[in-house]
């Protein structure tokens, strides 16, 4: 009896040992797979990994409605803590708060009839003790951005954050962006339940292995319809009927876009490395897919909105 029990016990024990070893091997293999994937991420080109970022930084938010209205409070709170870098924040919008905005945008009844940029600037300047400048007009000329960003600023100190819903304004920002090397353009675009944020950096250097500072595609590089839309109009050029037919918006989508803009702005202002140059997001599916800095995605000849001829011309203009 004792011998039979001992034999049975040894067999069961041996089987359990084998199961344990097999489970352990599976866990180790899973860990190594995750480690390999993380190593792959770490090995991606990192923009600004060793970049000493600029001081006297100018951050210009163009558009203070659906997305901009939710970006400004936290962006101002973030920038207020970087006094050592002398970060200045400017808001620009020619639109006034309307009753229809109260349902989705970051405004209240007492704001009705007031300029959106002014409302946000005054509210959060007072709340945070951080001076915020504002411009009560639509962006229609790149010279407006030149005056705010200071064309003589050093590389990396001029940052435009686009929160607009029309290609005509993006075309103006694109002209400003491409006219000088070292400028950032972080743009948000969205439909009702999804959208994207793209962080562009204009630089003469195209990525090569080992580089730290190199060109990142802007929204106009990745979406050719931005520059190709020759029928695009500024908001104040639209008729009442056209404004009434604006694309439907969703508050969750606007907030998700604003938070993604904030994340990129923080990295850029702090001079932290970027593994990505954009994000596709969906409020409906609660997902976000990064535009990783894969070498193939950093090649301007592969960008849908660029061509070798236009790139050469841009480099000549920016020289």
The predicted structure's pLDDT at residue 178: 94
The percentage of the chain sitting over the pLDDT mark of 70, rounded to a whole number, equals: 75
Residue 5, in any domain of the structure: no
Question: Does residue 183 register a pLDDT over 60?
Answer: yes
Ramachandran sector of residue 156 (left: φ over 0; alpha: ψ -120 to 50; beta: rest): left
The predicted structure's pLDDT at residue 45: 81
The predicted structure's pLDDT at residue 44: 73
Residue 7, in any domain of the structure: no
Mean pLDDT, range 297-310, rounded to an integer: 76
Match 């609660």 to its residue by tokens.
286
Sign of CA dihedral 254, 160, 74, 267: positive
Mean pLDDT, range 185-191, rounded to an integer: 96
Residue 285, in any domain of the structure: yes
Give every strand in the sheet of 132-135, ordered side by side: 132-135, 88-92, 58-62, 158-162, 183-190, 194-202, 276-282, 287-292
How many angstroms separate the CA atoms of 75 and 13, rounded? 61
Residue 121, in any domain of the structure: yes
The predicted structure's pLDDT at residue 260: 98
How many angstroms separate the CA atoms of 164 and 61, rounded? 10
Mean pLDDT, range 139-163, rounded to an integer: 86
- Of 152 and 60, which is predicted with more confidence? 60
Give the CA angle between residues 143, 144, 150 to the nearest 5°.
80
Residue 278, in any domain of the structure: yes
Query: What is the pLDDT of the chain when averaged over all its residues?
Result: 83
Number of folded domains that form the chain:
1
How many angstroms separate the CA atoms of 76 and 6, rounded? 74
The predicted structure's pLDDT at residue 272: 86
**Are the CB atoms for 254 and 278 separated by under 8 Å?**
no
How many angstroms separate the CA atoms of 111 and 98, rounded? 8
Question: Does residue 233 register a pLDDT over 70?
Answer: yes
Residue 174, in any domain of the structure: yes
**CATH code (residue 119):** 3.40.50.720
Domain hosting residue 218, numbered range: 58-318
- Of 169 and 213, which is predicted with more confidence? 169
Residue 239, in any domain of the structure: yes
Q: What is the pLDDT of residues 268-287, one digit of tens each?
A: 988 888 999 999 999 999 99
Residue 30, in any domain of the structure: no
Cross-strand pairs, 292: 276
Cross-strand pairs, 92: 62, 135
Q: What is the pLDDT of residues 78-100, one digit of tens each?
A: 999 877 778 999 999 999 999 99
Q: What is the pLDDT of residues 113-150, one digit of tens each?
A: 999 999 999 999 999 999 999 999 999 999 999 999 87
pTM equals 0.82
């Amino acid at each position: 009896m004792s011998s039979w029990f001992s034999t049975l016990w040894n067999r069961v024990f041996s089987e359990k040992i084998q199961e344990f070893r097999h489970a352990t091997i599976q866990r180790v293999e899973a860990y190594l797979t995750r480690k390999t994937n993380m190593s792959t991420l770490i090995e991606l080109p990192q923009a600004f990994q060793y970049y000493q970022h600029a001081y006297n930084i100018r951050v210009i938010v163009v558009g203070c409605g659906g997305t901009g209205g939710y970006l400004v409070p936290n962006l101002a709170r973030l920038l207020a803590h970087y006094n050592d870098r002398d970060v200045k924040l400017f808001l620009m919008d020619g639109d006034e708060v309307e009753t229809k905005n109260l349902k989705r945008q970051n405004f209240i009844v007492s704001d009705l009839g007031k300029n959106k940029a002014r409302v946000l600037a005054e509210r959060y300047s007072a709340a945070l003790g951080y001076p915020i400048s504002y411009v009560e007009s639509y962006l229609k000329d790149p010279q407006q951005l030149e005056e705010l960003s200071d064309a003589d600023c050093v590389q990396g100190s001029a940052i435009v954050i686009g929160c607009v819903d029309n290609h005509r304004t993006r075309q103006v920002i694109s002209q400003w962006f491409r006219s000088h090397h070292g400028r950032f353009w972080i743009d948000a675009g969205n439909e009702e339940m999804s959208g994207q944020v793209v962080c562009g950096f204009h630089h003469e250097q195209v990525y090569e292995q080992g580089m730290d500072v190199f060109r990142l595609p802007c929204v106009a590089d990745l979406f050719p319809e931005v520059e190709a839309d020759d029928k695009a109009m500024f908001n104040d050029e639209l008729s009442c009927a056209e404004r009434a037919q604006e694309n439907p918006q969703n508050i969750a989508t606007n907030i998700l876009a604003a938070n993604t803009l904030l994340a990129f702005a923080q990295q850029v202002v702090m001079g932290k490395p970027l593994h990505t140059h954009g994000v596709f997001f969906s409020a409906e599916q609660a997902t976000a897919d990064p535009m990783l800095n894969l070498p193939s995605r950093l090649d301007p000849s592969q960008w849908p909105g660029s061509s070798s001829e236009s790139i050469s011309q841009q480099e000549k203009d920016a020289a």
